[in-house]
Amino acid sequence: MDSHTGLPVVGMVGGGQLARMTHQAAIPLGQSLRVLAQSPDDGAALVATDVVIGEHTSYDDLLAFAAGCDVLTFDHEQVPNELIRALAAEGYAVRPGADALVHAQDKAVMREALDRAGIPGPAWSEVSTVDDVASFGDEQGWPVVLKVARGGYDGRGVWFLPDAAAAADILQPDHAYIVEQRVPILRELAALVARSPFGQVSVWPIVETVQHDGICVEVIAPAPDLSEELAGQGAMLAVRLADALGVVGVMAVELFETADGLLVNELAMRPHNSGHWTIEGARTSQFEQHLRAVLDYPLGTTTMTAPWVVMANVLGGPDGGMGIDERVHHSMAQWPDVKLHLYGKSPRPGRKLGHVTTLGSDLTEVRARASAAAAYLREGGDP
Amino acid sequence: MDSHTGLPVVGMVGGGQLARMTHQAAIPLGQSLRVLAQSPDDGAALVATDVVIGEHTSYDDLLAFAAGCDVLTFDHEQVPNELIRALAAEGYAVRPGADALVHAQDKAVMREALDRAGIPGPAWSEVSTVDDVASFGDEQGWPVVLKVARGGYDGRGVWFLPDAAAAADILQPDHAYIVEQRVPILRELAALVARSPFGQVSVWPIVETVQHDGICVEVIAPAPDLSEELAGQGAMLAVRLADALGVVGVMAVELFETADGLLVNELAMRPHNSGHWTIEGARTSQFEQHLRAVLDYPLGTTTMTAPWVVMANVLGGPDGGMGIDERVHHSMAQWPDVKLHLYGKSPRPGRKLGHVTTLGSDLTEVRARASAAAAYLREGGDP
């Protein structure tokens, strides 16, 4: 409890853009997010008051950080599960807890839980040898998707294998892997859900996510031309999953839309890139909702604020060209209604430096505006 | 220029709720507001990284603070004008500058400028003696309004005088005063405008402000039943005034609506309580716009995001009752779509602790929701 404000203190482990935007959402709630960052240059460390520098893999650092917090939560899934378990055993309120978070940390555990809950996903199997991959591929058909079970992120740790031989160069004896059937997909969708310890659950409309090279570049809310039936199924699936896994906070369920319906691709148990559009596009943003959930406050309304909302990521472009300040200047002149979000990062090709959000009633125009502004803001790219 | 982000650094003198909400708006612009606060417990100091503790009346403190900034701006008008002038003479970019800001610091200077610009206000006069007050009142009619020329705030430094004798207990030889005709008003309105050094100007819709005991308690956007003619006049008046005074940043023009049209009551040259509704209620909030203006970025769209937006201030109530955390909890359950803004202040009766914003298409319902939530949140009051 903060003695000055009379409000509980939320600590977020990880100081990236998700913590940065969570701090932004914390301010109106009377909060000041406590952040465990790796460096004073981390996006959240640049904007928050209560920053502790430390390693999320060090139990000593986590314990020292936790001491100032009423609730602990995360901006990524990289804290070892056994350390989360140990913090909870010390009496700290950790949300989501280790038993829930493991499903976003270990793809084999996640696939098993989905199977138990009867929630559809691609065929899958744990594998550790080329022979394991070969027998799965021969049964399910080639190509297959090989994934590192723990630690993958943004397309890293994922390989498309045309045959079993291709696995030979990838498989390492000290890593766990799963292999999945490569399903023919129509497009990628995401269902965003929040759940509080009290058990209240809320969902936002299902969105379409557009990826390039495994990185999300655009999110369209709501997913265009999604049948009411699939939209309802996606929402119900997210709610059932949040309940079944005991999630607290925001969970993003990445989905494949296929000719046979929806399949779960991945889970993230934190605010997620597919939900950045909610900052301006929904009455309650995913960042505010995550805070409400981990504080066990009642959840906010998730109604959209416009018929169409589009988010486009601003990625780092090739070096050179005008500086970011000049690009911001010109983009604001060109698009006075585009909402800009910069994460305080030094530019590097392909790095997510920020995002833009557009809103309106004409989807084609709203999409075009978002991608034009995002393309313009690419550091060093051509205007 | 911040070497890490490549963006200019904005310093705000004053660490209250306006700086707090400006920091919130700075985060998505890639900024981290540098704040000169009087105490580490100031609202903005509780949430910003780059906080300097110092006095806004000390030139040494101001100079040390300015050294880390590309642009200086203010969350209040209490910095002595000569110190602002001295900072500018040292080469610092101070926005708004001393020549503009003086109009929000000295009511006599403001009234003279309005008269020169042909912008209507109540009849007025500088006064220093009871005789001065008597001759003004006898000419214009009683009662009259006596105001301290410099340093008044939120109803402090304003007196309604039934006769000249009442001035005797108020007038101090070391203060400057003006006296104004007490005009019969229909209601109070406010025009909010922003201007950049480049000269770009933008306005939000004219709002109605509801005051109790000289403190703004409710703002309705747009002002209900305002004729198109008066709405246009109010906007033009604000634009002309911003231009005439050379304002940079946000300026609030407090207006009286009278049977004979609009009169200017007061000016504030910073984000203002009458503009808090813009955080959710306009495409660009007054805080983002203030930053864009002082950074000389192009200004953002001021379109409203809903037909009606109402802001109600949350004031401190009598001591006792349940704590703020419990009140927040219950208010969120009751009104999941009310947007809460707490300023991190310790409660004290009558103190502005925060505000709530509601949006919708039915004005009666939107107003009722805002005032019910604000009343509930009054610290210590009855639920």
Complex prediction ipTM? 0.96
Among B23, B41, B283, select the one facing A4 at the smallest CB separation: B41
- Chain B: nearest CA to A38, how far in angstroms? 16
Contact list in B for residue A7 (CB cut-off 8 A) is: 324-325, 328, 342
- What values do phi and psi take at B53, rounded to 5? -90, 125
Q: Tell me the pLDDT of chain A averaged across its residues.
A: 94
pLDDT per position as a tens digit, B107-143: 999 999 999 999 999 999 999 999 999 999 999 999 9
A318-352 residue pLDDT tens: 766 678 889 999 999 999 999 999 999 988 888 89
Nearest alpha-carbon partner for A110 in A239, A269, A224: A269
**Residue A379: which pLDDT band, with cuts at 50, 70 and 90?**
low
Chain B interface, best mutation among A10, A27, A53, A71, by max B CB count within 10 A: A27
Instruction: For CA atoms B327, B355, B16, B24, give the dihedral sign.
Output: positive
Alpha-carbon gap: B230 to the closest alpha carbon of chain A (Å): 27
Chain A CB within 8 Å of residue B173 CB: no
Residues A283, B337: C-beta atoms closer than 8 Å = yes
User: Residue B14 in contact with residue B37, Cβ under 8 Å?
Assistant: yes
Task: Name the residue with tokens 């959930």.
Answer: A293
How many residues does this entry show for chain B? 383
CA distance A12 to chain B (A): 15
Interface of B with A in 12-51 (CB under 8 A): 20-21, 23-24, 26-30, 32, 41, 45-49, 51
pLDDT at B383: 47
Task: Give the A window 123-152 contacts with B, CB below 8 Å.
Answer: none
pLDDT digits (tens, 9 = 90+) for B309-335: 999 999 988 766 678 889 999 999 999
- Asked if pLDDT for residue B287 goes beyond 80, the answer is yes
Q: What is the mean pLDDT of residues B363-367?
A: 98
Instruction: Answer whether B187's CB lies under 8 Å from B208's CB.
Output: yes
**Location of structure tokens 């909610």:** A278
What single letter denotes the amino acid at residue A106?
D
Quick: pLDDT tens for A76-105. 999 999 999 999 999 999 999 999 999 999
pLDDT at A353 over 50: yes
- Could you give the 3-state DSSP secondary structure of residue B46? coil
Whether residues B23 and A343 touch (CB distance < 8 A) is answered with no
Beta-strand pair B177-181/B34-37: unpaired
The CA distances from residue A42 to A17, A165, B252, in Å, are 8, 41, 36
Tell me, yes or no, if B324 comes closer than 8 A to chain A by beta carbon.
Answer: yes
Question: For residues B16 and A126, what is the distance between their CA atoms, to the nearest angstrom?
Answer: 56
Q: Which of residues 350-369 of A touch B (CB under 8 A)?
A: 354
Other C-beta atoms lying within 10 Å of the C-beta of residue B130: 17
